Amino acid sequence: MSEQRNFPDWQELYRTTPNESLPWYHAGLDPDIERALQRWQVAKGRALDLGTGPATQAFALAERGFDVTGTDLSHAAIERAVAQAAQAQAQGKPAVRFLQDDVLDSRLDERFDVVFDRGCFHCLPPVRRADYARTVERLVAPGGLFFLKCFSTRQPGEQGPYKFSPGDIRAIFGERFEVLSIDESVYQGTLPELPRALFCVLRPR
């Protein structure tokens, strides 16, 4: 769990790679998020997409009636998402707000009914995980939910994002969050073999 990983230069990646070529690109709303919204009866409210990347999840939630903000560390990802949002709005689709922001040094001072992370947390340095949990706790509104999707320890190999077990999730977040559910899943994307994932639903204590 403590070994250091090498990750892409996110700015360069989003500057040079089409969204549709990214391994984690999934055009529709992630099925795990869809099921969680239904299970916990969340049909509207303010939603925050942490590490929005290709922004597909942000747009999909806006189409379902949520007031959506998407953030990403990469300026290039945000510039691309802002252009997509302008084009979508010109076609009469719901507005989505995109902001460049670093979750480990976040400038957001708002709270959201749903915060979700489909690929940011498992790329963060292990020593900053407590900082991440503290920030997310601040961003989730009272009674709100945090949806976290991350690589599972069931994913073979040593490459890619850090991997987590259900016990790891409880150890990292349990002081600040009630863990409502942790399910084994997969990452929908462009890879021929879908990576193994955990999908977690948490609520601030």
What are 61-91's pLDDT values in tens digits? 999 999 999 999 999 999 999 999 999 999 9
Residue 196 CB burial class (10 angstroms; 0-12, 13-18, ≥19)? middle
* Residue 140: strand pairing partners: 112
Please say if the pLDDT value at position 54 is more than 90: yes
- pLDDT score, position 3: 62
Map residue 111 onto helix, strand or coil.
coil
Beta strand 140-151 pairing with 177-186? unpaired
Instruction: Convert 51-84 to b/e letters by CB count within 10 Å (16 or more is b).
Output: bbbbbbbbbbbbeeebbbbbbbbbebbbebbbeb
> 58: which DSSP letter?
H
How far the first Cα of the chain sits from its last, in Å, is 26
pLDDT in tens, 143-166: 999 999 999 999 999 889 999 999
